[in-house]
Chain A
């Protein structure tokens, strides 16, 4: 053991130099402390919202003791969900529209889904000023939580729900220039009022996936509706040639060992691009598919949010698209007509049509219009926000023209019978499920052509051709829209 006795001599220390190293140490650690503060600020300013609405976050359970869950109201003033308090203080969540809004509004017993989950924090907090709280309530009474007003229109939703009838599938309707979702129907459905009793059978039933919101999470082959993007790719890659495009449809096109048929083996004869689009000519688009550069086509689709998350906080599936640079002619042909491996959600489909309708700008879709206190004072409101310009006005105008032609003389002529000018694209997506082949009926379109008010996307599972099933459903929604809002 060595003793250091001070008498040995204090170390000679030279004025300023001796504290330099301590200065460095101090600054280093002060820097670390400041980083911590910076990160804490970052957490609060940028991450808090995401964390608060995380599906794992159970913090709100504590608020259930303090607040009565707020109501969810539709844009036209109907109550979509509210909590009734019985005389003995028991709280019951009531959904007056039962099955109609089942998926989009969701449920809040046995976990949460839909908007009940997304707006959980808003519904379980109150922005009634503290002072006015004092005047009216006794100490321990629960406060009514804030109400959430959604963009959904109860009338339109009911029409869409009835129109879809007994088909499984989904309907999405939104405003192209704002992104407001007016309708979101998914079938098969359930009654959120009785979800408690139904729970066991709902979760054990694997075949029909009743709880899945098909509008945002259902992945369907897009079929011919995908030709909107194939056409856009062609416009971009062959800017000089598309106007002179000519194709002689003989109802069938075989390359290598793959044969593409037009629906019902119809021969469309000599046609230009507009004609091929409006008649949904498979062989013409198969030819276009072979003419396209695969990588460019692939990057265009990714730009249109395939293989990517949609710009919305709603829970949704990611649409899929794959086309390798050296894909075979067969793959090229089937991909161009929306079969192959391409899968997409109805919401995504509606957003693409909305981009066309909105002259090339995609708006972020949203369901929550505003939050207000239980007695109607505004708390916060969602402003429409654009996602991105995805195509030029010129491109959008050409696609609008082609989609209009589909209604005027193509596969969706039923829509021309009414007092609005619709445009759209049908799709008959062939699929095989458990060895049984079928055809999903698609329609996506908008109205009016000059100043689009509404975009509708319809998918009826195993509904046959688009013209047969999906177009009449969309037609009812357009009619209802104009009877509600006027032309």
Chain B
């Protein structure tokens, strides 16, 4: 009987994941607010169903009663995140929240399968991180200043990385984290966020070349420290993030070209200068040349993926534990082995969907600084995913970074959740600003009462006919309907009080604003 359940559940999990992934993309075709809302609900149901099936199998296989309790706790946690985030970021991106929960959920399943102890630890960290993340939008709003202190950020970032570099030097590259009160803390995960803020600040008004040179030099210092402390993955993340932000800020493709060129030269230089770079590249070119040594991890990863094939071995049927650092660096390969490569492809697509939402939000931000921050954070996310997945499947040399939200690792979990929260927070901040600007304008110019021309049913505002049927009016400059957001709307909820004098709520704000 058990065999049958395991076999059926294997396909069921893939099916649920595939449906979920499909909806990540079909949502963009929906215009209707209500239809979208239903779709997001369906996604949540699919996730909980998948979670249930997976844990049923885990319970049958491991036959530990504590698994059931743990499962209950996870359901509560996921539900709480969905409800709390959904309400706090009321007009934020539901898709991003759903994806965040889905990735965490997949992580829970796989870490529980790999090591129950680690998964309990991970769960605790997830809970704490989520609480911290919930506070982020509030913090950003109340303390707007902290988003502006880029010089302080730069110093803090370089200082933290410098400390790590010294520690790494002492332990020959083994130590990339500090233990604070028994909790391992990997500074580079957080410096990533600080770095994005710092660079965004420096580049926002990068009209003159001097500013760009300063920013580039500071970014280079970050990258260099990371290369020296052998954290090649983070070095690459910082480098690419900087290039992307520079491009978005200046819109000058030549900077990117120059950056890619010098980056490539630096990579070649690093290959010949540093043995730890060489080792990674050699292991990538032929993992079996030094299989017992440096090629072992990538070799095991490839064996895991090929053993799993398209549909996977089924939970607890493979041996993903054979991959060194399976729960951290090699999570993707472990997932491919037991849940199948089709599941793996879906997972990549969900990560891609997250990235698209990051940029999507950036597109809706009019403030250059916020835009840069959103793009920068999105890029760190995308690059990190590319490095860990690409490294695991031997597309690129292995750099040993985590798969955000899915992999085991406290610092990674916390920093990623903070990242997700910041982007949503920025989005809310933007709405505050718009509201303020709108108020100003409203005060300066009188409100026109709508009048009806030639007895038409639609009001005319004097500047081109307003067509009520033209729903995607605001999308002509590249906006996606953001969870029902089809243009600036100015509605306020009692619970998110703006920190400036509030205008009495006017019915008209719910209507389309006049076109100017």
Contact check, A44 vs B367: say whether CB atoms are below 8 A apart: no
Hey, which chain A residues are within 8 Å of B148, CB to CB? Answer: 1-4
Task: Give A16 to B474 CA distance when docked, in angstroms.
Answer: 11
A44, B306: Cβ atoms under 8 Å? yes
| A139: chain B residues within 8 A (beta carbon) | 1-2
- Are A133 and B390 touching (Cβ within 8 A)? no
Q: Please tell me if B143 contacts chain A, counting CB pairs below 8 Å.
A: no
| Cross-chain contact B306 with A22 (CB below 8 angstroms) | no
- Whether A3 and B145, one on each chain, are in contact in the complex, defined by CB atoms closer than 8 angstroms, is yes
Query: A13, B366: Cβ atoms under 8 Å?
Result: yes
Known: A15-B477, A30-B352, A56-B291. A10 touches B345 (CB 8 A): no
* Set of chain A residues within 8 Å of B476, measured between Cβ atoms: 15-16
Q: Which residue of B has the minimal Cβ distance to A19?
A: B478
Q: Residue B395 at the A interface, CB < 8 A?
A: yes
Q: A43, B305: Cβ atoms under 8 Å?
A: yes
Interface size of B by Cβ–Cβ distance < 8 Å? 64
Q: Which residues of B contact A37 (CB under 8 A)?
A: 345, 348-349
Given contact pairs A30-B352, A59-B304, A35 touches B201 in the complex (Cβ within 8 A): no
16 intermolecular pairs with C-beta atoms under 8 Å apart: A3-B145, A4-B204, A6-B433, A13-B366, A18-B477, A29-B355, A33-B348, A33-B349, A33-B382, A40-B348, A41-B341, A43-B305, A47-B302, A51-B303, A52-B307, A139-B1
Interface string of B294-338 (1 = CB under 8 A from A): 000001001111110110000000110010000000000000100
Report whether B318 and A44 are in contact in the complex, using a CB–CB cutoff of 8 Å. Answer: no
**Is B379 interfacial (CB 8 A cutoff)?**
yes
B45 within 8 A of A: no
Q: Of A11, A41, A49, which contacts B368 at CB under 8 A? A: A11
Instruction: Please report which residues of chain A, range 28-79, place their CB below 8 angstroms from some CB of chain B when the two chains form the complex.
Output: 29-30, 32-33, 35-37, 39-41, 43-44, 47-49, 51-52, 54, 56-59, 61-62
- Residue among B247, B366, B393, B477 making CB contact with A39, cutoff 8 Å: B393
Residues of A within 8 A of B344 (CB): 40
Whether a CB of chain B sits under 8 angstroms from the CB of A131 is yes
The 3 closest A-B pairs by CB, nearest first: A51-B306, A48-B306, A19-B478
Inside 8 A of B345's CB, which chain A residues have their CB?
37, 40-41
Contact A54 B348, CB 8 Å, known A4-B148, A19-B363: no
Is A130 interfacial (CB-CB < 8 Å)? yes
A25 in the interface (beta carbon within 8 A)? yes
Q: Select from chain A the residue with minimum beta-carbon distance to B200.
A: A4
Q: Is B389 on the interface with A (CB-CB < 8 A)?
A: yes
Taking a contact as CB atoms under 8 Å apart, the answer to whether A10 and B389 are in contact is no
- Can you name 11 extra interface pairs (CB under 8 A) apart from A19-B477, A33-B349, A59-B322? A2-B201, A3-B148, A4-B205, A22-B363, A26-B356, A32-B382, A39-B395, A40-B341, A47-B302, A133-B3, A134-B3
A245 to chain B, nearest CB (A): 49
Q: Nearest chain B CB to A33's CB is how many angstroms away?
A: 4
CB-CB nearest in chain A for B319 = A62
The A-contacting residues of B in range 274-293, CB under 8 angstroms, are 288, 291
Q: How far is the CA of A39 from the CA of B318 in the complex (A)?
A: 22
Among B322, B351, B369, contact of A33 (Cβ-Cβ < 8 Å): B351
Output the nearest chain B residue to A55 by Cβ-Cβ distance. B288
CA distance A29 to B387 in the complex (A): 12
Nearest-Cβ distance from residue A126 to partner chain B, whole angstroms: 10
* B201, A26: Cβ atoms closer than 8 Å: no
A74 to chain B, nearest CB (A): 29
Interface assignment of A23: CB less than 8 Å from any CB of chain B: yes
Which residue of the partner chain, among A19, A20, A47, A62, contacts B318 with CB atoms under 8 Å? A62
**What's the A-B contact tally at a CB cutoff of 8 Å?**
149
Q: Which residues of A contact B478 (CB under 8 A)?
A: 16, 19, 22-23
On chain A, the residues within 8 Å of B174 by CB distance are: none
Q: Chain B contacts of A54 at CB under 8 A? A: 288, 303
Docked Cα-Cα span, A130 to B306, in Å, equals: 22
Q: Does B149 sit at the interface, judged by CB under 8 A?
A: yes
Q: Which residue in A3, A10, A26, A33 is a CB contact (below 8 Å) of B367?
A: A10
Contact of A130 among B3, B149, B302 (CB under 8 A): B3
User: Are A44 and B351 interface neighbours, CB within 8 A?
Assistant: no
- From 219 to 257 in chain B, residues with beta carbon under 8 angstroms from any chain A beta carbon are 244, 247-248, 251
Q: Is A21 an interface residue (CB 8 A)?
A: yes
The answer to whether A25 and B205 touch (CB under 8 A), given A36-B348, A44-B310, is no
**How far, in Å, is A314 (CB) from chain B's closest CB?**
18
* Interchain CB contact (< 8 A) of B341 among A3, A4, A44: A44
Given known contacts A30-B352, A134-B3, is B299 in contact with A56 (CB within 8 Å)?
yes
Cα–Cα, bound, A412→B386 (Å):
66
Most chain B Cβ neighbours within 10 Å, of A1, A18, A21: A21
Q: Are A25 and B393 in contact (CB under 8 A)?
A: no
Asked whether A33 lies within 8 Å of B386 as measured between CB atoms, the reply is yes
Given A22-B375, A131-B4, decide whether A35 and B433 contact each other with a Cβ distance below 8 A. Answer: no
Q: Which of B149, B303, B341, B348 contacts A57 (CB 8 A)?
A: B303
Whether B437 sits at the interface, judged by CB under 8 Å, is yes
Instruction: Confirm or deny: B362 has a beta carbon within 8 angstroms of a beta carbon on chain A.
Output: yes
The majority secondary structure among interface residues of chain A is helix
Which residues on B sit within 8 Å (CB–CB) of A62?
318-319, 322
Q: A61–B300 Cα gap in the complex (Å)? A: 13
How many angstroms from the CA of A3 to the CA of B371 in the assembled complex? 17
**What is the bound-complex CA distance between A321 and B466, given in angstroms?**
84
Chain A CB within 10 Å — which of B152, B369, B477 has the most?
Answer: B477
CA gap between A383 and B345 in the complex, in Å: 32
B359 CB-CB contact with A under 8 Å: yes
Interface string of B129-158 (1 = CB under 8 A from A): 000000000000000010011011000000
Docked Cα-Cα span, A13 to B303, in Å, equals: 51
Does the CB pair A22–B303 fall under 8 Å? no
Interchain CB contact under 8 A, B477 and A11 = no
Q: Is B7 an interface residue (CB 8 A)?
A: yes
In the complex, what's the smallest C-beta–C-beta distance from B158 to chain A, in angstroms? 16
Q: Mark B373-411, 1 if CB is under 8 A from A, else 0.
A: 001000100100110011001110000000000000000
Pair B149/A1 contact, Cβ less than 8 Å: yes
Contact B356 A30 (CB under 8 A): yes
Chain A residue contacts of B356, Cβ below 8 A:
26, 30
A6-B141 Cα distance, complex, nearest whole Å:
13
Shortest C-beta distance, A379 to chain B (Å), equals 15
- A376 CB to closest chain B CB (Å) equals 21
Contact of A22 with B341 at beta-carbon distance under 8 Å, contacts A10-B437, A15-B477 already known: no
Distance in Å: Cβ of A62 to nearest Cβ of chain B: 4
- Given A3-B148, A26-B359, CB of A36 within 8 Å of CB of B433: no
A18 CB contacts on chain B under 8 angstroms: 477
B477 touches A25 (CB 8 A): no
CB within 8 Å for A134 and B306 given contacts A3-B145, A25-B359, A30-B356: no
Q: How far is the CA of A3 from the CA of B151 in the complex (A)?
A: 10
Across the interface, name the chain B residue whose C-beta is closest to A51: B306
Nearest B residue to A48, CB-CB: B306
> Which residues of B have CB within 8 Å of A21?
247-248, 251
B304: A residues at CB distance < 8 A: 59
User: Residue on B with the closest CB to A39?
Assistant: B395
Bound: A59/B2 CA distance, A: 22
Cβ-neighbour of A134 out of B4, B366, B393 (below 8 A): B4
- Chain A residues contacting B7 (CB-CB under 8 Å) are 130
B225 to chain A, nearest CB (A): 23
Residue in A closest to B245 when the chains form the complex, CB atoms:
A25
B299: chain A residues at CB < 8 Å are 56
In the bound complex, what is the Cα–Cα distance between A194 and B335 (angstroms)? 41
Name which of A6, A10, A22, A134 has the most chain B CB atoms within 10 A of its CB.
Answer: A22
A51:B309 contact, CB within 8 angstroms: no
When chains A and B are docked, how far (Å) is the Cα of A56 from the Cα of B290? Answer: 11
Cβ contact of A1, chosen from B151, B349, B367, cutoff 8 A: B151
A16 in contact with B367 given A21-B251, A30-B356 (CB within 8 Å): no
